[in-house]
Amino acid sequence: MKAAIIVFPGSNCDRDVAVALEASLGHRPLMVWHRDTDLPDLDLIVVPGGFSYGDYLRCGAMAAHSPVLREVKARAEKGTRVLGICNGFQILTEAGLLPGVLMRNRDLRFICRDVHLRVETDATDFTRQYQAGQVVRFPIAHAEGNFFADAETVKAIEGNGQVAFRYCDADGAVTEATNPNGSLGNIAGIYNPGRTVLGLMPHPERLAEDLLGGSDGKTMFDSLVEALS
Ligand SMILES: NC(=O)CC[C@H](N)C(=O)O
């Protein structure tokens, strides 16, 4: 599997993803600076978390118009798998690669803690080594993770099976009490209709080895390597 990680001024999870991906892949992924538009042949592009261009205007708004994003969009349209984590998810929605928006958290605070997530489907390249309904633990660290979309879009997302993860409790129950940021339907991550693009607010790369306190995130990288190698 040939993988690249996009690096913006202000990205701060790019190296974490590189380490997590390398552990599953066996070699270091390519790091691509935001000005580069000449991408090699790739199976996976990761848009990592952080604060691209200082998150000025709105999280992800400027990165969505960066030179490299034009190329990421073109590759996504051809079917290259794209994974956007946290700020990466915000960038993908701003770029129109995923529906909806990420608004400020319900309580207007930055939230940094572990959450439980329910894996909604295992029929994707990102989740094939999980089981549908499985509860996993990933960290969140964001100020703008409150997923919102108009009623018609939500209906389409739900109807097409585009919900990837929902915030839940340790037993998988999805309630208002398990919703950290006010997201509609407790949505923590979504796919495009073809399930070739995934955006999620929680960070799989931050719990990708037992030394870090958990390895639920590693399964996502293992799934991708298995699917795309
Ligand atoms: N960890 C991140 O990627 C943070 C994303 C964004 N800067 C926010 O605070 O919402």
| CATH code of the domain in which 131 resides | 3.40.50.880
Q: Span 161-178, mean pLDDT?
A: 98
The span from the CA of 141 to the CA of 130, in Å, is 23
203 catalytic per annotation: yes
- Residue 116: domain span: 3-228
The span from the CA of 156 to the CA of 154, in Å, is 5
How far, in Å, is the centroid of ligand 1 from the Cα of 131?
A: 28
Say whether the ipTM exceeds 0.90. Answer: yes
Q: What confidence category does residue 178 fall into, taking pLDDT thresholds of 50, 70 and 90?
A: very high
* Per-residue model confidence as pLDDT tens digits over 81-126: 999 999 999 999 999 999 999 999 999 999 999 999 999 999 999 9
Helix axes of 14-25 and 218-228: crossing angle, nearest 10 degrees: 60
pTM, to two decimals: 0.98
Residue 144 beta carbon below 6 angstroms from any ligand 1 atom: yes
Nearest partner of 153 among 87, 101, 202, 117, judged by Cα: 101
205 catalytic per annotation: yes
Nearest partner of 86 among 138, 126, 47, judged by Cα: 47
Counted domains in the chain: 1
The span from the CA of 157 to the CA of 186, in Å, is 13
* Average pLDDT for the chain: 98
Residue 142 beta carbon below 6 angstroms from any ligand 1 atom: yes
